[in-house]
């Protein structure tokens, strides 16, 4: 009788473990599926609902870009600091975005270590920025930074990986997936960030930054965005 009771207890425990594993397996895909960049043709993502955001003829209606710092060269947005002073300069969208995925190409040039960023979920003015930065520049390429309020790198990238991925003074391809508090960044076909950042903002504007402490130039092109459904969980 004792052995039969033990067997029943073991069977019940095993069944309970199976239920726990099944529940965990059902819950895991919400977190473990890795968003991947879309296929690109000449920088244009393939698939439905992608919208191009850098159109020179529509810039005035969609972006706030101070002409002292920003101009279009064809369909390439150029941010240029012609003198050095310790200021950060921002251009930003008039629209706000919540959950989305986006692709963008960027090229930096300058005599020192030019630094720039694709800003997401930002609350901006031309010289300030609350929110995230998909960062770019020596020691920052592919990382996730927050200018304010935390003013620090949220998710760094190892230097050896950065040196392997970055094409200096050439076009570099970014993919960003922002859904709920999860931020995923790919740089030139390699994922550099996959982070659940609970303190981070969930909505804001898109933007661009140049760090005006040196003479530098940042160029952006083929910025496409596709909205995502609301996150399954906050």
Give the domain CATH number at 81. Answer: 2.60.120.560
Pair 73, 130 in one domain: yes
Pair 96, 42 in one domain: yes
Pair 183, 119 in one domain: yes
Evaluate whether residue 232 is within a structural domain: no
Quick check: 37 and 189 in contact, CB under 8 A?
Answer: yes
Band (pLDDT 50/70/90 cuts) for residue 7 is very low
Average pLDDT of 204-228?
93
Average pLDDT of 70-90?
90
Please write the tens of the pLDDT for every residue from 12-32. 434 333 333 333 344 444 457
Look at residue 163 and give its three-state secondary structure: helix
Pair 29, 43 in one domain: no
Pair 27, 135 in one domain: no
Pair 91, 135 in one domain: yes
Evaluate whether residue 142 is within a structural domain: yes
Spatial neighbors of 18 by CB under 8 A, at least 6 apart, are none
Quick check: 66 and 88 in contact, CB under 8 A?
Answer: no
Pair 10, 75 in one domain: no
Evaluate whether residue 145 is within a structural domain: yes
Pair 67, 3 in one domain: no
Burial class (CB in 10 A: 0-12, 13-18, 19+), 215: middle
Evaluate whether residue 234 is within a structural domain: no
Give pLDDT, residue 11.
Answer: 47
Pair 96, 29 in one domain: no
Pair 4, 50 in one domain: no
Please write the tens of the pLDDT for every residue from 128-181. 789 999 999 999 999 999 988 899 999 999 999 999 999 999 999 999 999 999
Give pLDDT, residue 233.
Answer: 43
Look at residue 102 and give its three-state secondary structure: strand
Q: What is the pTM of this model?
A: 0.84
Pair 96, 138 in one domain: yes
The residue segments making up the domain with residue 212 are 37-227
| Residue 4 reports pLDDT greater than 80 | no
Pair 117, 168 in one domain: yes
Please write the tens of the pLDDT for every residue from 36-66. 999 999 999 999 999 999 999 999 999 999 9
H or E stretch covering 60? helix 59-62
Total structural domains within the chain: 2
| CA–CA gap between residue 114 and residue 10 (Å, rounded) | 64
């Amino acid at each position: 009788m004792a052995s039969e009771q033990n067997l029943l207890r073991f069977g019940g425990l095993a069944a309970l473990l199976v239920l726990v594993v099944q529940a965990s397996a059902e819950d895991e895909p919400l977190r473990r599926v890795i968003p991947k960049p879309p296929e690109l043709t000449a920088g244009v993502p393939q698939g439905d609902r992608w919208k191009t955001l850098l159109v020179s003829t529509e810039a005035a209606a969609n972006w706030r870009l101070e002409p002292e710092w920003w101009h279009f060269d064809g369909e390439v947005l150029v941010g240029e600091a012609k003198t050095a002073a310790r200021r950060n300069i921002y251009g930003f969208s008039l629209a706000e975005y919540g959950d989305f995925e986006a692709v963008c190409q960027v090229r930096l040039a300058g005599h020192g270590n030019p630094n720039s960023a694709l800003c997401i979920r930002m609350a901006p003015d031309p010289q300030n920025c609350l929110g995230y930065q998909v960062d770019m520049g020596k020691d920052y390429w592919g990382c996730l930074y927050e200018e304010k309020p935390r003013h620090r790198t949220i998710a760094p990238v190892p230097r050896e990986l950065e040196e392997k991925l970055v094409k200096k003074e050439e076009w570099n391809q970014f993919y960003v997936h922002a859904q709920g508090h999860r931020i995923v960044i790919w740089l030139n076909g390699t994922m550099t960030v996959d982070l659940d950042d609970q303190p981070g903002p969930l909505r804001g504007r898109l933007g661009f930054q140049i760090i005006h402490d040196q003479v530098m130039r940042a160029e952006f092109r083929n910025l496409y965005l596709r909205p995502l459904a609301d996150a399954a969980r906050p």
